[in-house]
Amino acid sequence: MARVIVFNQVSVDGLFSTPDGDVSWAHRNDPEWNDFVGKNAGGGGRLLFGRVTYDMMVAYWPTPAAAKNDPAVAAGMNNMTKIVFSRTLKDVAWKNTTLVKGDLEAEVRELKKDKGEDIVILGSGSIVAQLASARLIDEYQLITVPVVLGRGRTLFDGVEGPLPLRRIRSRTFENGNVLNGYEPG
């Protein structure tokens, strides 16, 4: 059975974007962090996006600039299977991308039945919140970036009631980022 994994960066105050959707604060490049992200973001599985994150990703990863600046990550992003949930997109042009307009929870339940690769959510805060509420996420890989935003969006806007989690891993990086992995518990 495929697992649904969230891989997202959050600020010390628990936000994943500024009020206007900016996530540039999360990019803290250094060799150790870049190597980790290159080997682990996506985990070799399928990527799942909402429209906003898809628009941001497709604007960069299939470009010559991405191929020059981040060749290994760009190749991985461009070759991976991508699933985009959107009611407003008419079509998708990025290689290996499928557009899904159906019910998010029902479609993800079907995707989880696959014996294939895991499904990794990058960004896509509203998708994370909806799937967390439906208890369809199997693992949260949350990277705390040492910055306070003060205002913005959490990954869990609209999640009702407690969502108990248990930590299954932790790692600190030279750039100050801290990865904590959680499973529902």
Question: What pLDDT, on the 0 to 100 scale, is given for residue 44?
Answer: 61
User: At 5, which helix (H) or strand (E)?
Assistant: strand 4-11
Give the residue among 61, 45, 10 at the shortest CA–CA distance from 121.
45
- Which residue do the tokens 């996006």 mark? 49
pLDDT of residue 18: 94
Query: Cα separation of 86 and 51, whole Å?
Result: 5
The pLDDT confidence band at residue 167, using thresholds 50, 70 and 90, is: very high
What's the chain's average pLDDT? 91
The two three-digit tokens of residue 150, written as one number: 């003060």
Q: Does the domain formed by 4-184 have CATH 3.40.430.10?
A: yes
| Unique residue bearing structure tokens 């998010």 | 104
pLDDT at 5: 95
pLDDT > 70? residue 134: yes
If you average pLDDT over each of 27-31, 63-67, 159-163, which comes out highest?
63-67
Interval 6-52: pLDDT, tens: 999 999 999 999 999 888 898 777 788 777 876 765 456 899 999 99
82-116 pLDDT, tens digit per residue, is 999 999 999 999 999 999 999 999 999 999 998 88
Spans of all domains in the chain: 4-184
Sequence-distant contacts of 58-66: CB under 8 A, at least 24 apart: 58/92, 58/93, 58/94, 58/97, 61/94, 62/94, 62/95
CA distance 124 to 57: 11
Cα–Cα distance measured from residue 33 to residue 24, given in angstroms and rounded to the nearest whole number: 15
For the chain, what percent of residues have pLDDT higher than 70? Answer: 97
In our burial notation (b when 16+ CB lie closer than 10 A, e otherwise), range 48-57 reads: bbbbbbbebb
Instruction: For residue 83, give every residue at least 6 positions away whose Cβ sits within 8 Å of its Cβ, in sequence order, or none.
Output: 46, 47, 48, 49, 97, 98, 100, 111, 119
Which of 82, 9, 94, 85 has its CA nearest to residue 47? 82
Residue 3 · residue 112 · CB < 8 Å: yes
What would the mean pLDDT of 125-143 be, rounded to a whole number? Answer: 95
Q: What mean pLDDT comes out for the span 54-79?
A: 91
Using a 10 angstrom Cβ sphere, with 0-12 exposed, 13-18 middle and 19 or more buried, the burial of residue 79 is: exposed
